[in-house]
Amino acid sequence: MNNSPGKGKPLYSMFNRIPGRYDRMNRLLTLSFDERWRKEGAGLCLQDRPERVLDLCTGTGDLALRLARMSEKGTEVHALDFSENMLDLARMKAAKKHVLEKITFHHEDASAMSFPDDYFNSIGIAFAFRNLTFRNPLTGRALKEIYRVLQPGGRFVIMESSRPDSKFMNILFRIYMNIMVKHLGGMISGHKTAYNYLAYSAIHFHTNREIQDMLAGAGFSMIRSDPKLMGAAAVHIAVK
Ligand SMILES: C[S@@+](CC[C@H](N)C(=O)[O-])C[C@H]1O[C@@H](n2cnc3c(N)ncnc32)[C@H](O)[C@@H]1O
């Protein structure tokens, strides 16, 4: 598609190529912990009974599907991604789970969203905050956009891998990323470059403290981070 909003943007062509085995690889590489954290994140997004909630960088739609299943009847669930191939898969999954009519899909770039100011009551992002903020020249624009489209008092919930604080856990984390994610993930998926990037960006990603500072710099307050699996992942919550 020539007029894709992601075309030319950092990481677009990589993500547009990998959807086929993406879900299976996620479950395998995280031993399904990713699903547990998405469920927790969805609960946090829905805590104040939002009328309108966004799954930002939805990928194959796992968080959006959870939001659709867990929310009340009138809740509008929106899901956004710049990869048309990811969105196609997300739509197919939503149809299979009978929640297609509850989710509105948007083929857009997170750093230039078409929504009006203060549009969403809450926003969730699962395992994609790293893509928006790790050595990405558009980080500032994406954070500004997220803040803009969230209503005052609304919650931004991030589920993401994180760098463990303890030296020992950090060593294990690096070994896991280098052996399991980079080599095994690359081999099984057939997408070596993508899994190389996933491992590298996880190992060198910001610390929780740096993420909190970044969110505060973008205007968010009441920021807290809840570490998971001895610091290998975290759920961050910030309020506009
Ligand atoms: C690692 S996947 C995570 C997908 C999903 N949220 C999940 O829980 O599995 C990252 C997703 O973010 C999307 N993405 C990355 N940068 C983006 C941007 N600037 N705008 C919109 N989508 C983006 C990619 O296309 C990809 O589908």
In tens, the pLDDT along 93-111 reads 999 999 999 999 999 999 9
Residue 64: inside a domain: yes
- pLDDT at 15 (0 to 100): 75
Residue 221: inside a domain: yes
Binding site membership of 128 for ligand 1 (Cβ less than 6 Å): yes
Q: What is the atom index within ligand 1 of the atom nearest the CA of 127?
A: 3
Average pLDDT over residues 193-197: 88
Best CA proximity match to 81, nearest among 161, 152, 30, 22: 22
Q: What is the pLDDT of residues 138-148, one digit of tens each?
A: 999 999 999 99
Q: What is the pLDDT of residues 109-128, one digit of tens each?
A: 999 999 999 999 999 999 99
- pLDDT at 22 (0 to 100): 74
Residue nearest to atom 26 of ligand 1 (CA): 59
Answer whether 97's CB lies under 8 Å from 65's CB: yes
Q: What is the pLDDT of residues 47-72, one digit of tens each?
A: 999 999 999 999 999 999 999 999 99
Alpha helices in 58-111 (DSSP H): 62-70, 84-96
Average pLDDT over residues 17-38: 81
Whole-angstrom CA distances from 74 to 56, 126, 212 are 20, 23, 33
Residue 10: inside a domain: no
Binding site membership of 82 for ligand 1 (Cβ less than 6 Å): yes
Residue 21: inside a domain: no
76 Cβ contact partners less than 8 Å away, ≥ 6 residues apart: 51, 52, 53, 102, 104
Average pLDDT over residues 18-38: 82
Token pair 């190389």 is found at 196
Top pLDDT among 150 and 182 is at 150
Residue 9: inside a domain: no
- pLDDT at 51 (0 to 100): 97
Binding site membership of 198 for ligand 1 (Cβ less than 6 Å): no
Top pLDDT among 223 and 22 is at 223
- pLDDT at 116 (0 to 100): 98
- pLDDT at 1 (0 to 100): 45
- pLDDT at 23 (0 to 100): 77
Question: Which amino acid is located at 59 in the chain?
Answer: G
How many structural domains are present in the chain? 1
CATH number at residue 107: 3.40.50.150
Question: Largest Cα–Cα distance in the chain?
Answer: 47
Q: Which of 82, 158, 198 to mutate to test the pocket of ligand 1 (most atoms within 8 A of CB)?
A: 82
Residue 202: inside a domain: no
**CA gap 54, 124 in Å, rounded:** 6
Q: Which H/E stretch holds residue 107?
A: strand 103-107
Share of the chain above pLDDT 70, in %: 98
Question: Which amino acid is located at 18 in the chain?
Answer: I
Q: Which of 7, 25, 28, 57 to mutate to test the pocket of ligand 1 (most atoms within 8 A of CB)?
A: 57
Q: What is the pLDDT of residues 196-224, one digit of tens each?
A: 999 999 999 999 999 999 999 999 999 99
In the reported structure, the alpha carbon of residue 59 is separated from the centroid of ligand 1 by a whole-number distance in angstroms of: 5
Residue 17: inside a domain: no
Which residues constitute the domain of residue 66?
Answer: 32-161+207-239
In the reported structure, the alpha carbon of residue 158 is separated from the centroid of ligand 1 by a whole-number distance in angstroms of: 13
Other beta carbons less than 10 A from residue 88's beta carbon:
14
Residue 117: inside a domain: yes
